Structures are given as C-alpha cells and as structure tokens.
C-alpha cells in the first residue's frame, strides 16, 4: 500500500471570469522510504496540490479527487479535529521562507516544545530533553542556548534547521518539503539538502520535494513528477527523466538549463513546446 | 589585478582601484560605535563589451559594490574610473553626463517599477529629466526600445501589474537602456525568474550586448548562469575579492578554498552524477 495516494486531484478557485483550475486531474503516489520530486515553474500547481493534501487551502478552494489516501485512510472526509491530529505528526511540512514560517513572538524552543506537547503529550522535562536532542540532530550549534533564541536572532539557514527539527519532532511518516532551499545561499542549500536526505535515509520516511530547480531534483529525487499549468506532464524515475525525457515540456526545461547551453544562445522553452499542456488542451475558463 | 598599470588602455571601460565601503553603526549610551567593512578594498579592470560576473553569498558585499559602481552609494576609499575618467563620487560633484554612462537593473522586477506609472512614462522619464526631447520624440524612443527588448508598442499604456515577472524584467532593462549607457550593472537580474523565462532574459541580454556593445557587471549567486554568461569572474567573500580571473581560469582551477566549497555545493544536473548518486543510494540501502 502506498503511503500517499492521489488520484485525479483537481483544485479550483473562483475568479471574476469563472473557476480557475490550479490543479487539473493530477495523480501520483509516494511509497514508504521514497523521495518524490515535484518540479514545475511558478503557477504549475505543485504547491497547491500538496496544500490540498494537508488541508491548508482556504475554504474558497474547491477540492475534488477520486482518491486522496494517506496510509489507506481517506483524507477528504475526515473532520478538522482528526486532521489536526495527523498534520504535524504523521505528515509534516517544511516551507520556503524559514524566517516567515516561524512565529516571531515566541522563542524557537517554545515552538518546538509546543509540537511535542500537543502531539506526544510529553511532560516539561522530557520535552526539553527531546527538543535539545532534535536541535543536535539537525546540527544547530549550542542547542541549549538556541532554545531561548527568537527567530530574528538566527540566520535563514539556522531557521530552516529549526523548521526541520519541528517537522521531524514526531517522526513523521511523510515529509513534504516545499522549496526548502530556495531562499538560501548555495553553500547553505547544500547543507540543508544533505541534512534532509540523511534524515530521510535514517528514518525511512516518505519525502515529497517540491522545487523548481532541476539541480535540486538531480541531487535528491528517486522519482520525479513534472507539472505545468496544473497538469502532470511526465512521471519517471530520476535517471530516465534526465537521460531520456519523454514530454516536450521536460525536454524544453532541460534544454533551458544554462549548463546545457550549446552555442552562444540558450534554447528557450518555446523551441520545443507550444505552451499547451499536452493531454487534451480543453478550453480554460 | 596582477598586471595593473596606471595608464588606462583604450579598451578599458571600467577600472576600480582598491575601492572600500564602511558603514557606521551608531552607538548607544553604553554601546560603542561599530564600523562594518562591507567592501574591503576591491580592484578590477573590465574591457569594453565584456561581462564581469561577481559571485558570492548574501552579505559578502556584492550588492554594495554594485551600488558604488552606479553612484547610489559613495565609496569611503579608493578610485572609480569609468571610460578613462576618474569619477568624483562626492555628493554634488557628479554630473548628469557621468550618471548616464552607468545604469542598473535590480533583482526584483516587482519592486523596482512604480505601480502607478504607465510603462511609457517609466521609459520616458529619464529622457524627460536629462534631455530636451519633445513628448513625441520620447514616445517614439520608448516604443523603439520596447520592440528591442521583445515587447511591443501596445504595451506603452499599460501598468506594471499587467505584466509577468519576465516581462517586467524586460521593462527594467529597457528603462536602463533609455539613456544609451555604456556600462550596465545587473544585480541578480534573473534569480527571481522561472527557468524558461530566465533563458529568454539571458538571451535578450546577450543580444543587447552585441547590438549596443554594452559592458556588463553581472551579479549572481547562480554558478551555472555565471559560467554561461561571464567573460571574467570575481568571487567575493566577506567583503574581499578572493578569486578573480577569466571564466576558464576560475572554473577549471579555483585557487581559493571558498571558491572550491562553492563549486562543490552547486547541484549537478548531469546524467553521470545522477547515476553515481542513485548507485550510491542503492548500495547504502542494501548494506
């Protein structure tokens, strides 16, 4: 049984000109211990699809799916209270802006202990010990002192380490990382990616890596889903995707990488791809 | 940097000698004043029509350097020579003529355009301030420039919010080119853009460089972009230039420890490295 199974997921938002499909009939699944990368440009619906799974979209969004199963359990029908028990414990998420996703009014120690209190019901002493252990695990220097720091007193890379510590606090079965390194420097990006990958290897959790960076895909993924304008363009294991891309859109994306430049101009996407998502380009409202 | 001569050769567009910028943090009652050395003496020379890429992590002083090159910030030490003339960067001593030679394109195309100004006015404003062109001439020049950067006259009366990120960056480039500058400072011009749009904007920059013989100072943290666009590369680290040379020199034989760390940290997207990684993971899983 797949850890997360999504079939024919559609997310729509109402606009002045009618319903806009942000995600349009996407299916995918993640196994235990697998790293799935979802790659796409802005507006391809890669984040929205995962937010729909987490139930983090505003009520104005219309979500429909044939199947939305986490460990065989239907995520569509469950109550808000049940969902709260699941989110943050079995499914955890890391966001793009580490400084913005932490609460500026509380110390990072308070914020990680909150997770441990709500989900695991640990007492004060155990919480503190576990929090320090987690900070150690994600490679924060001086964890005891760091417990009393506020987010603004730490760098972006350190805040992202705190976010990761919070995310893995309850040993989640599935970790969703939404552009975890986009706001960080290259050297810090490397450290954070290495950290996430080693944690994934150690715990055997499923990992969904949402990114727009082909380099990050190449360094992390087992399997890749390529999205464009809310549709899935291609799904393949990472090696075949880079070696032998099937869809024109993937070919175009790979050709647009500056390191693949031949001659003195880059190949632009339009050279391969007419801008229409391939399967049934029906009229968009 | 090594073969520095005092005579400017005919072909040198920009020369920077030991340029410095310190920022002073005011002290409090019990706190002493603190001085931040943002740029600690950087020197380089750039030939006409070439591209110098400046690489470094956030806080290394690369944007401060860009601000000094474009006279937004006054250097606290060192010399700045543009087109063979020493620039008097003291406030009030800069002439309009000097300012016209250097223009800048910023990173965030959403923040660098006035939301209440139509595109035509964005492009016409530098002409209205610096020249005595009539409104008709300004309009004509703006439309010409819109076509040059891959937009059209139909965009003249639109507002910035009606454009995508890539289009806005084209407008920012068009605005920078209105005064026929010789030197263009590009501060992370493509890092806010999607991959496919990034390729288009980089191609546009290459086309414009060929057409107008522009000299670029290209600030970036993305090494794959730098490798594609640069003739010369300078790596900055904590306000100092730790590596400086032609692109091939720097990429094939990095001298400084930090440059090597930077290269190692850059994700590799070629098939060989992926195959190696997948094999390694399989071996680890089997063990």
For residue B223, give the 3-state DSSP assignment: helix
Any domain includes A107: yes
A78/chain B closest Cα distance in angstroms: 35
A71 contacts chain B (CB < 8 A) = no
Contacts of B241 (CB under 8 A, 6+ apart): B1, B42, B43, B44, B234, B235
Contacts of A59 (CB under 8 A, 6+ apart): none
CA B222 – CA B188 distance, rounded (Å): 9
Under a CB-based contact definition with an 8 Å cutoff, are residues B128 and B122 in contact?
A: no
CA B276 – CA B287 distance, rounded (Å): 17
Tell me the mean pLDDT in the region B95-108. Answer: 87
CA A109 – CA A201 distance, rounded (Å): 26
For residue A208, give the 3-state DSSP assignment: strand
* Strand positions, DSSP E, chain A: 4-15, 18-30, 35-39, 62-64, 67-70, 73-74, 91-94, 174-178, 206-211, 223-228, 231-237
Under a CB-based contact definition with an 8 Å cutoff, are residues A250 and A241 in contact?
A: yes
Indicate yes or no: CB of B278 within 8 angstroms of CB of A238: yes
Indicate yes or no: CB of B274 within 8 angstroms of CB of A242: yes
Any domain includes A96: yes
CA B262 – CA B260 distance, rounded (Å): 5
Residues of B in contact with A201 (CB under 8 A): 281, 284
Low-confidence ranges of chain A (pLDDT < 50): 279-285
Indicate yes or no: CB of B224 within 8 angstroms of CB of A257: yes
Under a CB-based contact definition with an 8 Å cutoff, are residues B100 and B83 in contact?
A: no
Measure CA A193 to chain center: 13
The Cα diameter of chain B in Å comes to 77
* pLDDT tens digit sequence for B208-227: 999 999 999 999 888 888 98
Could you list the residue range(s) of the whole structural domain that residue A130 is in?
29-48+79-249
- DSSP H/E element including B281: helix B271-286
Under a CB-based contact definition with an 8 Å cutoff, are residues A146 and A140 in contact?
A: yes
B198 contacts chain A (CB < 8 A) = yes
Query: Domain extents for chain B?
Result: 12-286
Instruction: Record the tokens describing residue A110, joined without a space.
Output: 């308070």
Tell me the mean pLDDT in the region B24-30. Answer: 84
CA B183 – CA B226 distance, rounded (Å): 18
CA A24 – CA A40 distance, rounded (Å): 14
Under a CB-based contact definition with an 8 Å cutoff, are residues B227 and B195 in contact?
A: no
Neighbours of B178 (CB within 10 A): 22
Instruction: Record the tokens describing residue B109, joined without a space.
Output: 């195309």
**Please, which residues 133-192 of chain A have a Cβ atom closer than 8 Å to chain B?**
185-190
> Which of the four CATH numbers 3.40.50.720, 3.40.640.10, 3.90.850.10, 3.40.50.300 does domain B12-286 have?
3.40.50.300
- What pLDDT shows up at residue A37? 95
Residues of B in contact with A238 (CB under 8 A): 274, 278
Indicate yes or no: CB of A268 within 8 angstroms of CB of B277: no
pTM above 0.90, yes or no: no
Crossing angle (nearest 10°) for helices B165-177 and B195-212: 20
Indicate yes or no: CB of B268 within 8 angstroms of CB of A266: no
3-state secondary structure A65-125: CCEEEECCEECCCCCHHHHHHHECCCEEEECCCHHHHCCCCCCHHHHHHHHHHHHHCCCHH
- Average pLDDT taken over every residue of chain B: 88
- Select from B39, B47, B45, B46 the least CA-distant residue to B19: B39
Residue B32, CA distances (Å) to B23, B27, B37 in order: 14, 5, 16
Find residue A99's DSSP bridge partners: none
Option in B194, B206, B229 nearest A42 (CB): B194
- Select from B3, B263, B281 the least CA-distant residue to A202: B281
Instruction: Record the tokens describing residue B185, joined without a space.
Output: 């400072």
Residues of B in contact with A217 (CB under 8 A): 269
The Cα diameter of chain A in Å comes to 64
Indicate yes or no: CB of A187 within 8 angstroms of CB of B57: yes
Under a CB-based contact definition with an 8 Å cutoff, are residues A109 and A146 in contact?
A: yes
B205/chain A closest Cα distance in angstroms: 10
A53 contacts chain B (CB < 8 A) = no
Under a CB-based contact definition with an 8 Å cutoff, are residues A101 and A156 in contact?
A: no
What chain A residue is nearest to B225 in terms of C-alpha separation? A258
Residues of A in contact with B224 (CB under 8 A): 215, 257-259
- What pLDDT shows up at residue B26? 86
Residues of B in contact with A239 (CB under 8 A): 271, 274-275, 278
Indicate yes or no: CB of B221 within 8 angstroms of CB of A185: yes
* pLDDT tens digit sequence for B52-83: 999 988 888 888 999 999 998 899 999 999 88
How many domains does chain A fold into?
Answer: 1
Any domain includes A239: yes
How buried is B107 (Cβ within 10 angstroms: 0-12 exposed, 13-18 middle, 19+ buried)? buried
- What pLDDT shows up at residue A284? 33
CA B223 – CA B230 distance, rounded (Å): 10
Residues of A in contact with B228 (CB under 8 A): 258-259, 261, 266
């Amino acid at each position: 049984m797949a850890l997360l199974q999504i079939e024919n997921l559609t997310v729509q938002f109402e606009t002045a000109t009618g319903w806009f499909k942000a995600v349009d009939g996407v299916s995918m699944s993640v196994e235990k211990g697998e790293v799935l990368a979802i790659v796409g440009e802005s507006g391809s619906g890669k984040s929205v699809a995962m937010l729909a799974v987490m139930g983090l979209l505003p009520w104005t969004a219309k979500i429909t799916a044939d199947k939305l199963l986490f460990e065989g359990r239907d995520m569509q029908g469950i109550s808000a209270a049940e969902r709260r028990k699941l989110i943050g414990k079995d499914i955890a998420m890391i966001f793009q802006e580490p400084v913005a996703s932490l609460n500026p009014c509380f110390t990072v120690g308070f914020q990680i202990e909150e997770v441990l209190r709500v989900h695991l019901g640990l007492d004060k002493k155990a919480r503190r010990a576990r929090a320090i252990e987690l900070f150690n695990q994600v490679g924060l220097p001086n964890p005891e002192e760091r417990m009393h720091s506020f987010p603004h007193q730490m760098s972006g890379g350190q805040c992202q380490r705190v976010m990761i510590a919070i995310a893995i606090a309850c040993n989640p079965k599935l970790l969703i990382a939404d552009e975890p390194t986009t706001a960080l420097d290259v050297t810090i990006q490397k450290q954070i990616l290495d950290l996430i990958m080693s944690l994934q290897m150690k715990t055997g959790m499923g990992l969904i890596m949402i990114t727009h960076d082909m380099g990050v895909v190449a360094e992390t993924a087992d399997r890749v889903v390529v999205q464009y304008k809310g549709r899935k363009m291609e799904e393949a294991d990472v090696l075949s995707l880079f070696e032998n891309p099937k869809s024109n859109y993937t070919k175009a994306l790979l050709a647009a990488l500056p390191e693949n430049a031949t001659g003195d101009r880059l190949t632009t996407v339009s050279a391969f791809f007419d801008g229409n998502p391939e399967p049934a380009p029906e009229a968009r409202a | 940097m090594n073969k520095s001569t005092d005579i400017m050769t005919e072909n040198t567009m920009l020369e920077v000698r030991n340029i410095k910028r310190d920022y002073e943090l005011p002290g409090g009652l019990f706190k002493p004043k603190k001085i931040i050395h943002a740029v600690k003496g950087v020197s380089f020379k750039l030939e006409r029509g070439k591209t110098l890429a400046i690489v470094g992590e956030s806080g290394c002083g690369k944007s401060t350097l860009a601000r000094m090159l474009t006279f937004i910030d006054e250097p606290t030490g060192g010399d700045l020579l543009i087109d063979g003339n020493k620039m008097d960067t003291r406030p009030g001593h800069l002439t309009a003529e000097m300012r016209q030679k250097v223009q800048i394109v910023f990173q965030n195309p959403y923040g660098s355009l006035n939301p209440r100004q139509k595109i035509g006015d964005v492009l016409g404003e530098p002409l209205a301030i610096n020249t005595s062109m009539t409104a008709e001439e300004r309009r004509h020049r703006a439309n010409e420039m819109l076509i040059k950067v891959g937009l059209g006259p139909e965009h003249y009366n639109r507002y910035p919010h009606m454009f995508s990120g890539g289009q806005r960056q084209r407008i920012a480039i068009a605005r920078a080119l209105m005064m026929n500058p010789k030197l263009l400072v590009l501060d992370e011009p493509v890092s806010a853009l999607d991959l496919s749009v990034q390729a288009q904007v980089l191609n546009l920059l290459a086309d414009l460089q060929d057409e107008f013989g522009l000299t670029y100072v290209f600030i970036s943290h993305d090494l794959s972009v730098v490798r594609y666009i640069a003739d010369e590369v300078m790596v900055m680290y904590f306000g100092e230039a730790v590596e400086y040379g032609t692109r091939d020199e720097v990429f094939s034989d990095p001298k400084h420890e930090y440059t090597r760390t930077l290269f190692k940290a850059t994700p590799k997207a070629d098939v060989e490295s992926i195959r190696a990684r997948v094999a390694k993971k399989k071996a680890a899983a089997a063990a």
